Amino acid sequence: MTRVPSPEVVVPRTGYRIERFTLGNGLRVVLAPEPGSPVVGVAVVYGVGIRSEPEGRTGFAHLFEHLMFQGSANLEKFEHFRHVQGAGGTFNGSTHLDYTEYFQTVPANALERVLFLEADRMREPRLTPENLLNQIDVVKEEIRVNILNRPYGGFPWLRLPPVMFDTFPNAHDGYGSFADLEAAVIGDAEEFFDRHYACGNAVLSVTGGFAPEEARRMVERHFGDVPARPAPPRPDLSEPDLAETRRHSYVDEAAPTPAVAAAWRVPDPVADLAGYLPYVVLAEVLTDGVSSRLVERLVLKERLATGISGHTGFMGDAFDVLDPTALVLQLNLPSGGSAERALEVVDEEVERLAADGLTQEELARVQARMVALLLRDGDAVIGRGVRMAVLELQRGAPGLLNELPALLTSVTPGEIRAAASRLRPGRRASLEVVPGRDR
């Protein structure tokens, strides 16, 4: 898409060199060489996430991420860790709504070692009843630590979608119920791998210090004989917009003070990027910094909130999420604070913005901060490597990473005003956290 950056903003530009090719088995590959870099980042992103889980198997996408670290065809348990750390590298993985990522950063001379490791588990992870039971226990403990026994656990990313959406893919608990996790058997894991961990459903990215021709030979050598399987059909994520306000509250025994979150549907991030971008910027206009609309009034003037954040995507993933998604505001309130009054002020400020607009100067300040953060996040080789892999997976456009700064700064005050006019109470879902002592 072509948009013209605002003349008020000087846009730093990135020019990452990107090469793309597809192996015979369907694996897409993105290379982004950076001559002279002493490190390389290797990421494999699969098109399977929380919204891919079947009914009765909530939490399975995250559980399977754990299983992928339990050994593979030629590697015993923990050997992947030892080989990466032994080379002086770091590694991790994470599960998102629409994809699962595995990544490592190592010295440049360890590139082939890491490509072998990723290819080996793409070919055949070590799926055993023992590993499955062990990782079910690990995931259950993670749920206890991160959700059940933590103040505001799962708020709002895990608890707000069921308020906003009705269909199982969009509304279910992505961490999973203990009953679903405990009911899993090894056949479920094998079927999940065969269906979702296919070459045709994956993207490999390599970034940093390497020669593209040599890296391509390594990729073909290690991944070329992984059996070909096509990507499965995407789950049906279609969901109508809200026709009336939805509200829900729940008691959090560990929360010291109340909180409230609100969300509105936004345009399709992939199919309608031009329509989506103003909402990405609007979230920052409302919440980013002490001069932002909601912070200035709710926190500094009226002291109705102690902290505010805003973003598009339930996990803050503006450019790596599929439709449907939302603009989300999160407000932490003082002791005894009123969620209803806080939401009234949000409505008033959004309505004022829609009616009066904002100046180009105010918008330029926000856009400059957004671009700075975007560039910072892409500065590390693995940061841009993962982002490029996801852009290839979801859009077939890893080069969009180079275009995002200009696209963000091309959003106009008129587009912000129009987007604000769509954040009406009748399209809003909200979720209130009630501290246990306030019952």
DSSP annotation of 260 reads: E
- pLDDT over 80 (residue 3): no
Indicate the pairing of strand 28-33 with strand 19-22: antiparallel
> What does the alpha-carbon distance between residue 378 and residue 391 come to, in Å, rounded to a whole number?
13
Torsion angles phi and psi, residue 222, rounded to 5: -95, -35
Instruction: Classify burial at 434, counting beta carbons within 10 Å of its beta carbon; exposed 0-12, middle 13-18, buried 19 or more.
Output: middle
Give, in degrees to the nearest 5, the angle at Cα 394 between 92 and 372. 65
> What does the alpha-carbon distance between residue 188 and residue 194 come to, in Å, rounded to a whole number?
10
Residue 63: which of 93, 90, 83 has the closest Cα?
93
- pLDDT over 80 (residue 4): no
Residue 373: which of 404, 399, 397 has the closest Cα?
404
**What is the pLDDT, as a whole number, of residue 378?**
86
List, for residues 85-112, the tens digit of each pLDDT value.
Answer: 999 999 999 999 999 999 999 999 999 9
Q: How confident is the model at residue 1 (pLDDT cuts 50, 70, 90)?
A: low
Q: How confident is the model at residue 9 (pLDDT cuts 50, 70, 90)?
A: low
Residue 104 C-alpha from the chain's centroid: 18
List, for residues 304-333, the tens digit of each pLDDT value.
Answer: 999 999 999 999 889 999 999 999 999 999
Cβ atoms < 10 Å from Cβ of 338: 15
Domains of the chain: 19-223 (3.30.830.10), 246-438 (3.30.830.10)
49, 51, 57, 63: CA torsion to nearest 10: 20
196, two tokens: 């979702």
- pLDDT over 60 (residue 207): yes
Mean pLDDT of 36-48: 97
| Cβ 77 vs Cβ 131: under 8 Å | yes
What's the residue count for the chain?
439
List, for residues 354-399, the tens digit of each pLDDT value.
Answer: 999 999 999 999 999 999 999 998 889 999 999 999 999 999 999 9
- pLDDT over 90 (residue 438): no
Model pTM above 0.85: yes
| Cβ 127 vs Cβ 190: under 8 Å | yes
**What is the pLDDT, as a whole number, of residue 55?**
94
**What is the pLDDT, as a whole number, of residue 268?**
98
Q: How confident is the model at residue 280 (pLDDT cuts 50, 70, 90)?
A: very high
Residue 298: which of 331, 260, 249 has the closest Cα?
331
Q: Is the backbone peptide bond immediately before 324 cis, with ω within 30 degrees of 0?
A: yes
| Cβ 40 vs Cβ 90: under 8 Å | no
Dihedral of CA 248/253/259/262: which sign?
negative
